[in-house]
Amino acid sequence: MYKKKSFFITFEGIEGSGKSYQSKKLFKKVKSMKLPVIYTREPGGTVAAEKIRQLILDDYYYPGSKEKFDKYTDTLLYMAARNEHIKKKIYPSILKKKIIICDRFIDSTLAYQVYGKGISRNLVSNIHRYILGRIKPDLTFVLKSKLSKAMQRLKKRKKKNRYDRFTKKFYYKIQKAFLKIAQTNKRKYMVVDNSFDTPRTEEIIYKKFIKTYSK
């Protein structure tokens, strides 16, 4: 028997790293164990935050628009969505002692906005101080992948326009940033190489979850 406690797990990585697939796999597995678990994502996770997500993604992918959000607008929208998500979903779930599996969280802002786009780290940290309170992930999986494999996965997606969003060079930079972030706390982060579509990845993730959760 496991002790009932909240446990916050995040999955991070570039598009095509397989993090959404792997996080859903873990969710199904944990659910099948009859443990209290929820699945959520960022940007999004609540009705209001999903609206903000739509706003951000429309701006990225709408081919006809000449005027794009400024990078600070974009960042503030991610933060606004996160605030809604924390207040309305993450925090209440923590109080209910649930296991939360979240596809992307604060490290995506660090990797994409701070390292990738050069947004002030101070601004991001300060806003996080206000909106996060004491909430922080207990365990973060950083999925890394060979860029050629990630690109291949993206090409297979129905929404092909996503593939055009960033250059390969940008993804290389973002992946490097995720790996750097993971180095800051080796106990909390686990880097998983997901370059190959093998069931081993799921097993590694599940084992790490069990080990950390049952501590």
- Reading the block at residue 138, the tokens are 């207990």
DSSP-assigned letter for residue 118: -
| Minimum gap (Å) between residue 159 Cβ and ligand TMP | 10
Give the nearer residue to ligand TMP in terms of CB position, either 57 or 191.
57
Task: Give every strand in the sheet of 99-103, ordered side by side.
Answer: 37-41, 99-103, 7-12, 139-144, 189-193
- Reading the block at residue 7, the tokens are 């446990």
Cite the beta strand spans of the chain per DSSP E.
7-12, 37-41, 99-103, 139-144, 189-193
Give the nearer residue to ligand TMP in terms of CB position, either 73 or 207.
73
| Minimum gap (Å) between residue 86 Cβ and ligand TMP | 12
Contact set with ligand TMP (CB under 6 A): 15, 42-43, 78, 104, 108-109, 112-113
| Minimum gap (Å) between residue 111 Cβ and ligand TMP | 8
Give the nearer residue to ligand TMP in terms of CB position, either 99 or 106.
106
| Minimum gap (Å) between residue 215 Cβ and ligand TMP | 27
Residue type for position 207: K
